[in-house]
Amino acid sequence: MQRRELFSFLSSSVKNSLADKETKVTLIRPPYFDDIAAFDIECQNCEGLCATSCQEQIIIIQEDKTPRLDFSKSGCTYCDDCAVACTPNVLNIENKKLIDATISINQSSCMSWEGVMCFSCKDPCLEDAIDFKAMFMPTINQDKCTSCGFCISRCPTYAIGVSE
């Protein structure tokens, strides 16, 4: 059995149970804003250029026309493209900061915490912010984590989450 097949098998029951549950959308904004209220005011007349310019395609324009980040397929590279494209200047390169979110690992869902060797979250982490105690038990080093979200989509059991 290949590694990919093993992960698919182990995570299939988790995926099915998650699909059955309603998932709450966490409102994470792109990392270039100064005034949170500006989203509700200025984005109303915008064409969503921040979303179309995003290289990773993680910016979703919601029904209220405001942008949010969706880490389900990729993460933020902090490339500045969304801020450059934002004509109302809600997003501005001068206001660049880390994404205002906390990434965490649910130990009861994580395969490594159950004794299965898995480094799916560690491999894509550009900041080397995921530490392992021995060969198992990953934890997120919040001092190094930029909340980019790359680890979230790579977890085969969806054990990594994000909160505001």
Domains of the chain, each with CATH number or no CATH: 3-21+101-163 (3.30.70.20), 37-95 (3.30.70.20)
Outline where DSSP puts E strands in 66-116: 67-69, 102-105
What's this model's pTM, rounded to 2 decimal places?
Answer: 0.81
Query: Is 87 in contact with 49 (CB distance < 8 Å)?
Result: yes
Sign of the C-alpha dihedral computed for residues 8, 129, 66 and 55 taken in this order: negative
Return the number of other C-beta atoms located less than 10 Å from residue 147's C-beta.
Answer: 22
Tokens of residue 15, six digits = 């995926």
Which residue type, as a one-letter code, is found at position 83? A
- Reading the chain (164 residues) residue by residue, the pLDDT tens digits are 555 555 555 555 455 444 443 456 789 999 999 999 999 999 998 999 999 999 999 999 999 999 999 999 999 999 999 999 999 999 999 999 999 999 999 999 999 999 999 999 999 999 999 999 888 899 999 999 999 999 999 999 999 999 87
